[in-house]
Amino acid sequence: MIMLLDTDKLKSERQQRAWSQSQLAESSGVSLRTVQRLEKDGKSSLESAKALAAVFNIKVSDLYANEASLEKKDNIPQFCLLSDSTKTLCATLAILGSVIFTIFSPIGLASTSLAITCAIFYSFVFGLLIDAIRGRGFYNYLHELSAAQIHVSSVIKVQISRLATFLFKPVMISLITILLLSFFIYMNMKDYQKQRIMNLLSNNAQISSVNSQS
C-alpha cells in the first residue's frame, strides 16, 4: 500500500532531534536511500511509515500529507473555475433558480431536468461574466495551472475537498431561504389554498403507503 507523507513534517521531526538522514535510517530500520526518497517525494509504504512514526513517537496519521502540504508541494493554484467571491453567490443562485424554475415549469421529469439544467447553466455563466469583468476566473486559473508543476491525482483530491467545503454554505443559505419563503407564502395563502395543499400532501402520503405495502 503506497501512501503520501508530508515531506516537511518528516524533515522537521528529524531536524528537531538533530539527526542526520543516516541516523534516522539507522534508528528506524529504514534504508538511507528510502529516507532520502521519502523526504523528497513523500511516497511511502505502510511499513516504512509505521517505522518512522515509531521512532518519532507519533501517530502514523501525523505523517500523512494534508491539503496544505499537497498545495505547497505541487504548487496547486488556489483558484478553480470561479473566484472565491463569486462561488457562493453562483451556487446559491443555482439552487434557488432550480427550485423556482421547477415550481413554475410544467409537471414532468423532462421539464424539471431542463429547469434545473438551465438554472445551473445561467448561474455558472453569470459567475464567469463577473470574473471576466474583474480580470479573474477561468482564464487566470488555466494560466496558473500551466505554469505549475503538478500531479493530476493531487489536483483531483484537493479540488474535491474544496468543492465539498464551498458547497456547504450556499446549500445552507438556500435551505434557509426556501424554508422562510415557504412559510411566508403559506401564511399569506387563503384558507381554500391551504386546504388544497393539505389534501395534496395527504393523498401523496396515502399513495406512498399503498406502494410500500405492495
* pLDDT at site 134: 74
Q: Where in the chain is the domain with CATH 1.10.260.40?
A: 2-65
Q: What is the pLDDT of residue 149?
A: 47
pLDDT at 122: 80
Grid-cell match 443562485, residue found:
93
CB 35 within 8 A of CB 25: yes
Give the residue ranges of the chain where pLDDT is below 50.
Answer: 71, 74, 79, 149-150
Residue 116 and residue 15: Cα distance in Å, rounded? 55
* pLDDT value of residue 55: 92
3-state SS of 25-93 is: HHHHCCCHHHHHHHHHHCEEEHHHHHHHHHHHCCCHHHHECCHHHHHHHHCCCCCCCCCHHHHHHHHHH
pLDDT of 146? 55
- Residues 105-153 have pLDDT tens digits of 665 555 677 777 877 888 888 887 787 777 677 656 655 655 554 455 5
Distance CA 11, CA 209 (A): 62
Cα-to-chain-centroid distance, residue 58: 29
CATH class for the domain made up of 2-65:
mainly alpha
